[in-house]
Chain A
Amino acid sequence: MIESKRLRAGILLPPYLWLLLFFLAPFLIVLAISFGETAIGVPPFTLGWPPSLFSWEILAGDSLYLRAWGNSLLFATIATLCCLLLGYPMAYAIARAPGRRRDLLLLFVILPFWTSFLIRVYAWTGLLRPNGTINEALLWLGLIEAPLPLMNNAFGVVLGLVYSYLPFMVLPLYATLEKLDATLLEAAADLGATPRRAFLSVTLPLSLPGILAGSLLVFIPAAGEFVVPDLLGGPDTLMIGKVLWDEFFTNRDWPVASALAVSMLVLLGVPLALLRRAFAS
């Protein structure tokens, strides 16, 4: 055990100070600026006393923001469920594969995570656009007569979210399924349980921590996603992360962008806290 107090301080202080300065302090500034007002100048806002509730009134008064929030939560929820439905069998099959194969199968789940996220989302635009690969193939086969609307709508956004975050679901599920004690399943079989029954009453309950962790790892970043709704979405599929981006870069309304960031942090605070508990146990 490293007992020296000075060593402890030397190890702890540099990252602590870095995070206070570049992680915590910025949030306090965002909170402050959300109570400011837009102005023409550099920087384009003013802070006064008493604090201005102007941007918060805009946030509460314009249904655009409420719709964007609704979309974010809805799309993130659907994407999480799809990831679970596809990711669970994948993790299950990998966990049951023989040792050497298992490493390779796992590697192929992680590999996309190492390649550019932006490029992977962009790759879908070539597949989904009206004159893209899928539509051209279906037209050529004579299965459809006019191109299907596959992107710039909710379908495109959810597909993009599932595609981007699927590995985040598979990995924690694999971690819990791999540790599962096989003798429990043997015991269930010896006692006369069908494979289906054994799965439902042994495997599934024991993998709940993995399901929870995976779902949160998909849901939280998906709800705040910007690239996917921007490249695969349309005017009807605004999500909160995209709205924040537009407020900041297009409208140059920093106080409203700040208020949006605060609202995201508050609303995502609950799943974030759940995730911390899931990891702690």
Chain B
Amino acid sequence: MSRVLLGIGYVFLYAPIALLVLYSFNASRLVAVWGGFSTKWYGELLRNEAILGATLVSLEVAALAATIAAVLGTLAGTALARWRFPGRTVFSVMATAPLVLPEVITGLSLLLLFVSTEQWLGWPQGRGVLTITIAHATLGLAFVAVVVQARLAAFDRSLEEAALDLGAPPWKVYATITLPLIAPGIATGWLLAFTLSLDDLVLASFTSGPGSSTLPMVIFSAVRLGVSPQINALATILIGLVALVVGLAFWLGRRR
């Protein structure tokens, strides 16, 4: 019984994606009409400069935001896993709320912050890559912090204690023992933050400015108008890349 429902669950999760991939090779523009196999939409996609430009913006933002999120999230995760300090509750709420908080709230509030500080302090001048990066880094921070915190909770402290007993200064213990041991968690967190940033529509729409549209923003304005074969082709490429990376990670994980 539960096996049957498991199967239904997988069909439910994957059927729409499979059809999207199929349609991307459909020569016909219409969804339900099969006009023969064709890769023409891929050709059109590669000549679409709006999409190519937005892809570059998205990759730049995602790389920057994931890196900031990895650094700050690792520090936040360490503090949350290890210590009690004044204001810990506030800190922990701030560090984890972005995980589930509807993005329209965070997006609007960050935009209003940027508008206000620009008015009063003259910073940031206009909105664009910088402001989207800050928004995505704040979201990514929460994910990295959770992963790192979980990693530290299952951490053997005796190595740190041994290093301290042998006279290593605490910062050196943190840098040479703790960080390398939680590095896989940090890498997972970075990848999560990178993916979330590439995927985010709402935060980017609120915090972007003219000339800095991200890929999801371009996709969104295209699909709002209806089915778009070029977007099907783009989706197929993105899904293929993700499947490749995740499959490779899984295979490597098994071999060890």
| Interface residue? B202 (CB, 8 A) | yes
Contact assessment for A27 and B102 in the assembled complex, using a CB-CB cutoff below 8 Å: no
What are the residues of chain A within 8 A of B94 when measuring CB–CB?
Answer: 19-20, 23-24
Residues of A within 8 A of B2 (CB): 89-90, 92-93, 96
A-B interface pairs (CB < 8 A), number? 255
The minimal Cβ–Cβ distance linking A99 to chain B, given in whole angstroms, is: 11
The CA-CA distance from A27 to B108 in the complex, in Å, is: 9
CA distance A23 to B206 in the complex (A): 15
Q: State whether the Cβ of A217 lies closer than 8 Å to any Cβ in chain B.
A: yes
Residue in A12, A125, A224 whose CB lies within 8 Å of B104: A224
Of all chain A residues, the one with the shortest Cβ separation from B119 is A43
Whether a CB of chain A sits under 8 angstroms from the CB of B181 is no
Query: Is A161 in contact with chain B by the CB < 8 A criterion?
Result: no
Closest CB-CB distance, A52 to chain B, in whole Å? 16
Interface size on A, residues (CB 8 A): 91
B182 within 8 A of A: no
**Interface residues of A, dominant DSSP:** helix
Distance in angstroms between the alpha carbons of A105 and B31 in the assembled complex: 31
- Given contacts A114-B242, A261-B104, is CB(A27)–CB(B109) below 8 Å? yes
A-B contact pairs, 28 of them (CB 8 A): A2-B170, A2-B174, A7-B170, A14-B75, A18-B141, A19-B141, A22-B113, A23-B138, A25-B113, A27-B109, A30-B112, A43-B115, A86-B9, A89-B2, A90-B6, A109-B13, A117-B199, A122-B231, A126-B16, A131-B31, A221-B100, A223-B102, A226-B103, A226-B202, A244-B104, A264-B104, A268-B101, A279-B96
Residues of A within 8 A of B (CB): 1-4, 7-8, 10-12, 14-16, 18-20, 22-27, 29-30, 33, 43, 86-87, 89-90, 92-94, 96, 103-105, 107-109, 111-112, 114-120, 122-127, 129, 131-133, 135-136, 163, 166-167, 170, 216-217, 220-221, 223-227, 230-231, 241, 244-245, 248-249, 254, 257-258, 261, 264-265, 268, 272, 275-276, 279
